[in-house]
Amino acid sequence: MRILLDRFSKSFGVTRVIEDMTLEVADGEMLALLGPSGCGKSTTLFAICGIHKVTAGRILFGDRDVSQVPSQSRNVGVVFQSYALYPHMTVAQNIGFPLRIKGMAAAQAAREVAAIAELVHIEALMARRPAQLSGGQQQRVALARALVRKPDVLLLDEPLANLDAKLRLEMRSEIRRLQRETGITAILVTHDQVEAMSMCDRIAIMDQGRIIQVATPTEMYHAPRTAFVAGFLGNPPIAFLTGQVRGGQIAVQGTTATLPLPGSHALAEGGTVSLGIRPENYGPKGDVPLPGTVAFVETQGRENLYDVRLADGTLLRSIQPVRGDVAVGDAVEWAAMSDKVMVFAEDGTRL
């Protein structure tokens, strides 16, 4: 089911949360709404499912305008962060509840419940109650309940926030598997970039009620449109240095290094830019010398994360295979890769 937000706006009283948003989610696609707390991503999700009424614009499911259609008539499955399971019901009763509300015959409902339980691998838990389940098991029950009604759209609001690291990893792959096997159109709301990048076909990054960029995870990581997008994606995050335009080059503040101006951009002499350097693009093999002193080493198993402090106090990060020749306090003659340095104008726009 294709979803289209057509110049969608949402206000609460005099406060405008979403302003004139246009976004299309393709049939069968899984898209992430990613952004910091308060950016409007959950508000957008709640408007799609009908919890929030649209202030302006339209929401279309296929060619059907559902902007004024009540939530119970939209055929949307929703999975919340809190799971929202009924504590007095068994797993089977929780999953089958939407079918009972629809008036489905008991025998058919039982078959549907059994089929979806097998799909999410909880068929052995059907007689238990939510209090007897782990967090990951409860999340599977919530997913089964959302999917059993065969919704046109699946909406996931921070579904993994309450799980520990190991379960989050497991459920990321499980949710993606289920979405692909069912072919359902899905929207994931999250502030976790790893969830968005690992689970979704595309990401829409939001800030202050606006969509900043929509792209595949790979495209957005390597070709962010703004410094905000570049800073939001990447773990460890990108580091920013200040540069100044001098004689057709960019001089890196606090160093002797220079970079060519990107592309055909003409910038005023003395103008200031930001230089974004990702950890994988700074180390022993670059061509833009940025020497410094190792301030911290974080061991991550098969690789180490090095914090290197430059002469002016700026901190760069470097991801390297585990090596025994570099320790905290050592001076290193490392460099950035010039073709990987991202240049941003003063307003944050990528040059």
Reading the chain (351 residues) residue by residue, the pLDDT tens digits are 999 999 999 999 999 999 999 999 999 999 999 999 889 999 999 999 999 999 999 999 999 999 999 998 999 999 988 888 999 999 999 999 999 988 999 999 999 999 999 988 899 999 999 999 998 899 899 999 999 989 999 999 998 888 888 888 888 998 999 899 999 999 999 989 999 999 999 999 999 999 999 999 999 999 999 999 999 998 889 999 999 999 888 999 989 999 988 876 678 888 899 999 999 999 999 999 999 999 999 988 889 999 999 999 999 999 998 878 899 999 999 999 999 999 999 999 998
Residues counted in the chain: 351
The structure tokens listed for 289 are: 């010398």
pLDDT at res. 4: 98
Q: Point out which residues pair with 189 in neighbouring strands.
A: 33, 157
Query: What is the phi/psi pair of residue 206, to 5°?
Result: -115, 150
Residue labelled with tokens 């004139």: 20
94 backbone dihedrals φ, ψ, rounded to 5°: -60, -45
Q: Find the Cα–Cα–Cα–Cα dihedral 101, 106, 107, 111, rounded to 10°.
A: 40
Q: Give the whole-angstrom CA distance, residue 339 versus residue 95.
A: 53
Paired residues of 292 in beta bridges: 332
**Cβ(147)–Cβ(77) below 8 Å:** yes
Hey, what long-range contacts does 252-255 have (CB within 8 A, 24 or more apart)? 252/288, 252/290, 253/312, 254/310, 254/311, 254/312, 254/313, 254/314, 255/289, 255/290, 255/291, 255/310, 255/311, 255/312
b or e along 32-67 (b: 16 or more beta carbons within 10 Å of the residue's beta carbon)? bbbbeeebbbbbbbbbbbbebebeebebbbeeeebb
